[in-house]
Amino acid sequence: MYFKHIKCGQLALGSIHYCLCALFLLLCTACVKESEFLRLDLEENGGLELPEGFEAIAVVNGLEGNARHLAVRDNGDIYVKLRLPDEKGGNAVLRDRNGDGIADKIKVFGKYPIHGKYGTGMRIHQDYLYFSSQTTVYRQKLRPGKMLPEEKMEVVLQDDLGKALREHIAKPIAFDDAGHFYIPFGAPSNACQEPKRTPLAPGQDPCPQLENFAGVWRFDLDKLDQRQADGVRVASGIRSLVGLTWNPVDKELYAVIHGRDDLLRLFPDRYSPWQSALLPSEEFVRITQGSNYGWPYCYYDQMSQQKVLSPEYGGDGEIIGRCSTYNKPLIGFPGHWAPNDILFYQGDQFPARYKNGAFIAFHGSTNRTPYPQSGYFVGFVPFEGGEPVGTWEVFADGFARVDTIINVTDAVFRPMGLAEGPDGSLYISDTEKGAIWRVSYTGSREDFGEADLAQMVANKERLHIRTPDVARDRLEQPAEGRGALTYKTFCATCHQSNGKGDGTRFPPLDGAEWVLGDKTRLIQLTLQGIAEPIEVKGQTYTGVMPQHAFLSDVEIADVLTFIRSNFGNDASAITSEEVASVRKVLTEATSTD
């Protein structure tokens, strides 16, 4: 079966200890942290916190392969893009056969080249199931009454822009009502620096990446095996886009954009840790022909509500300059929340305030150190007359299970995908365990009001959502030694302060063969970076690691020695002389080439 085995501590449910274990799960919050898998079906609302009158049920406790985006068919079948595909396939379909809301039949299907873990798209359109890997958009014809689509898999779009592994390569899909679909081609860098992510390095001006990247393209739906050149560019200046949708009410395209990273790491002379944790904004935008949102030259500051000049182009957090000419977002959310899906609610089940409004799944930050990580909830933006009204709201919380999230791995669940069911229920997927919830409204639609939102308004003050206090909420303790300081400055963003990585993009350092093994290989990796998949402790990671040759030999020796002697590691030190020797060999090889 594709349900994960369910455990409480070391006791498997179904044994003689079932009842005691289930009770312990309900009563003991510590078990949430220590149990390998959770019985969401034993918890009220599947463990979620919702406005009054809403209820949630766990359609499935977890899927092998976890989950990214999802789509719900008109018969209630749920199609899921798996986060960790295997030889069985990259997609799953779930069916509830007895009407109790819980999936009791699951099939995995879709064998195709995966090209990494950022396959994202999963949408149903005109009786076809559309889904994507990092490089390719596929479709399969759905069959009446059958869970699995036809075996024939058609290539709709092929990304032919070079290596499969590059930054911001997700392929969400949106369809208009005029025979087109839309795909983003994300920017292959953070801010168009060369070399990438190098402290104090200027950005390329003009940025050559804007020619083929950092935008959204429109394609004809009736053509197969297309390339980017077959499409029409609709919008520019968009670094990274994972959530994309068509609004059938105003017939416009909408998206949620991930802002750039590393303000503090790259420009410590201009940004404080607090500013770097909150900026730049994640942007909720309406995409029309010719839209330009300013990447890499500008970013949006949600606190000043201005587009400001990026530091790579002479900005200091206040200079506006050329940025006054670029489009502003409809709403700017706090930085690094990772909005990964957006859905305009069209059903009639929910109260009227939700009709035509936008739900947004915030996957949660990884890089807010030295402040707690933030996001990890589903938000809502009310709309009236085709425009957002008021501000964003908290709709569903409780995914992380903890409030002070120091490392991304502290979060038990992270919301990812959104879909609307045929009865108007809202489905939410999770990337960490592969859980899927169905949220329904059972209260009085006519009586729903502000009082029913009171708890969710209060949730806005939780540490993983509210703006942190610059002094009180800072988690960092004084660094002990130069190696620890260098690690916190340049490494913790990806590998996290506990050295365990983020579970998907960035590998763990504890017990890693790359850390404990050959010194020369480790030094070379640090100096040069890597833009290829890397296997660590039996798992493949696809996050791009930038070069760190800008660090001195002493700094590299100190940080690698720190890594090799912390996080449970116990390996010998690395000297500055060893770093210098490897650097010399690499420099000579480059000059020879």
- With cut-offs at 50, 70 and 90, classify the pLDDT of residue 11: very low
Task: Give how far the C-alpha of residue 222 lies from the chain's centroid of Cα atoms, to the nearest Å.
Answer: 30
**Over 90: is that where the pLDDT of 44 sits?**
yes
pLDDT tens-digit series, residues 410-460: 999 999 999 999 999 999 999 999 999 999 999 999 999 999 999 999 999
Q: Supply the pLDDT for residue 120.
A: 87
Instruction: Give dist(CA 486, CA 484) in Å, integer.
Output: 5
Under the banding of pLDDT at 50, 70 and 90, the label for residue 529 is confident
User: Given this model, what pLDDT does residue 115 score?
Assistant: 67
Give the percent of the chain with pLDDT over 90: 73
Q: Is the peptide bond before 206 cis (omega within 30 degrees of 0)?
A: yes
pLDDT confidence tier of residue 477, bands split at 50, 70 and 90: low
More confident residue, 546 or 363: 363
3-state secondary structure 206-247: CCHHHHCCCEEEEEECCCCCECHHHCEEEEECCCEEEEEEEE
Sheet containing 154-158: give its strands across. 122-125, 128-132, 136-141, 154-158
Q: What is the model's pTM? A: 0.86
Sheet holding 215-220, edge to edge: 174-175, 180-185, 215-220, 232-236, 291-292
pLDDT reported for residue 560 = 93
Residue ranges of domains in the chain, CATH in brackets: 1-37 (no CATH), 38-459 (2.120.10.30), 482-592 (1.10.760.10)
Q: How far apart are CA 579 and CA 424, in angstroms?
A: 60
CB 307 within 8 A of CB 326: yes
Q: Using alpha carbons only, what angle is made at residue 422 by residues 421 and 427, rounded to the nearest 5 degrees?
A: 5
- Mean of the pLDDT values across residues 198-211? 96
What is the number of other CB atoms lying within 10 angstroms of the CB of residue 533?
A: 14
384 vs 22, higher pLDDT: 384
Q: How far apart are CA 150 and CA 128, in angstroms?
A: 10
CA distance 241 to 236: 12
Quick one: average pLDDT of 199-211?
97
Q: Are 229 and 251 in contact (CB under 8 A)?
A: no
- Percent of the chain exceeding pLDDT 70 equals 92
pLDDT higher at 324 or 84? 324
**Mean pLDDT within 525-553:** 85
- In sequence order, the 6+-apart residues with CB closer than 8 A to the CB of 567 are 498, 499, 500, 508, 509, 510
590 closest CA partner among 544, 547, 545: 547
Reported confidence tier of residue 487, pLDDT bands at 50, 70, 90? confident
Mean pLDDT along residues 515-542: 87
* Residue the block writes with tokens 């120091």: 406
What's the whole-number average pLDDT of the chain?
Answer: 90
Averaged pLDDT, 279-307: 98
Q: Retrieve residue 438's tokens.
A: 């169905």
181 in Cβ contact with 213 (< 8 Å): no
More confident residue, 238 or 590: 238
Least confident of 140-144, 259-263, 292-296, 587-591: 587-591
